[in-house]
Chain A
């Protein structure tokens, strides 16, 4: 049997949900909350604990954008590409991030510090274009501000 890689809290959460119908997505959310992404080992552990085939879990994980298959950087950067942000230059921010930090969408910096994700609407269209770093929101971002914002996380 594989080693249980989850914290006591997570194991407890899973057992509380074990017999509830429709538990899988809720469990996967909790797993990602704890380890930042859904690793192969984590998916296998969920399969074991919920007693469902690994293929079923992998089917769900790969269907939904929210579940990540790769380990994110220390700071995950989200650039909004909702319509309002797109019209106001969200794509220019992504280009700039590539220029100043060598980041591509879905990628990670060599030192593992930043990862970049393009997201659909973080819900503050009044501040467009928007990017978030580690949960902190930066609104009305211009191309010239990008490098300075990254420096704050040095």
Chain B
């Protein structure tokens, strides 16, 4: 079952094309990462999915319906913006009481236990907390209403490495225990490699890659850039499904052909390297490479 569907979504701000026909789907219960350079359209996309921005065209479906302002739908969605602003004078305890009055369900016990785990004083006014702590509080509050879909814009950016790991652990266990679908944007690809089971890579307003993390890791290889290897790629790769990115001394090849992997002595590529290569240059498809040479 799909928890998030995005089909041919476009959005232009005045002259600026923020999203140029974006299409992808996320399974229920998946922990998906939205990755891309600054200005790639990640925040615009998350705002559209949260029902805060209307797309120019295209279809979106989150938790079974198009984003609306209807409270029934809103109660199933959790959204934390990049700069989530909380009222500074209120304590977390008061926020939790307010949350309890406004939401069903509201898991107060879990909320307070998690604050403890992250060493956040729940009796102190929010404004006395650090920027990172304030952001964590916002995410924990959103989790307390046990939404079906959590949309998070850069939830890890302002956190130290330990809090980052702890918050990721909290997000992942909620995804596992409650089948919550999580879509989070982040630049910290090394953290995502172990945590996210799906990756959507945006570049210049378009989806460059949208696949399960395991599948991406299992099909991307580094190969030494030599005439012999290029010849092998030309002969053996499938132009329809395989692609390569030619860098100075290395080639990033995406293929499911294990024979060529063995013949060229290819080494598996890490997620961060794949993301950087795919963001900075467009792939040469092997069919193209064949005709060019």
Q: Do A and B come from one complex?
A: no
Residues of B within 8 A of A (CB): none
